[in-house]
Structure 1
Amino acid sequence: MAGHFEIFTDSESNIRFRLLGADGTVLAVSKAFEDKRSAADGIMAVRECAGTGLIRETHSTPWGGTTWTRSSQTVRPRTRQRRHLPAV
């Protein structure tokens, strides 16, 4: 059986959805939505983007934020194109 989405109400009465793997493992949890229709729209957006989404590496900063790294770009020659990895 493939993974699936669940729409649920969290402990603070917010509507959210989660993506579960085939074995029931929680793979992702959404932001809070105002109603079930908005959560369903969010699921549709994830379905559309999941197959084509690119993977981008970020690094955490000491204060908890994230920053994009550019150091790997300076090491490579400018003539070489960056490869994009497919979403898993």
Structure 2
Amino acid sequence: MAGTFELFADEDSRIRFRLVAPDGTVLAVSGQYPDKYQAAAAIEDVRECAGTGLISDLAPAPNLARTRTPKRPHHVRPRLAGKANSLGAA
């Protein structure tokens, strides 16, 4: 199901629009426009290019040094195959 574009006046009495998902989540908010006609023209531009727009990742890479591998608790020991205390060599 498609979202809805809503025109509204911001705190500066300038016209903006927002794209709202069917569940009410605000997906995007525009910049300011001097009137409804220019805001409506911008909505048409968004409709035209949004479906075909590529994703450009400008976000920094995650800091992998902060990610830790979980360690096994000290009381857990691996089981050895064969005889107790055997290294598997005969």
- Tell me, yes or no, whether TM beats 0.5: yes
CA distance in 2, matches of 1:5, 1:45: 12
Letter in 2 for 1:48: E
In structure 2, stretches of 5+ residues that fail to align are 61-90
Higher relative contact order (CA 8 A, sep 6+): 1
The structure having more radius of gyration, on CA atoms, is: 2
Letter in 2 for 1:34: P
- TM-score, normalised to structure 2, is 0.63
CA distance in 2, matches of 1:3, 1:23: 9
1:10 aligns with 2:10: yes
Cα RMSD of the aligned pairs, angstroms, is 1.1
CA distance in 2, matches of 1:2, 1:45: 16
| Partner SS for 1:23 | coil
Letter in 2 for 1:32: Q
Instruction: Report the counterpart of residue 81 of structure 2 in structure 1.
Output: none
CA distance in 2, matches of 1:36, 1:14: 9
- TM-score, normalised to structure 1, is 0.65
| Partner SS for 1:49 | helix
Instruction: Report the counterpart of residue 48 of structure 1 in structure 2.
Output: 48
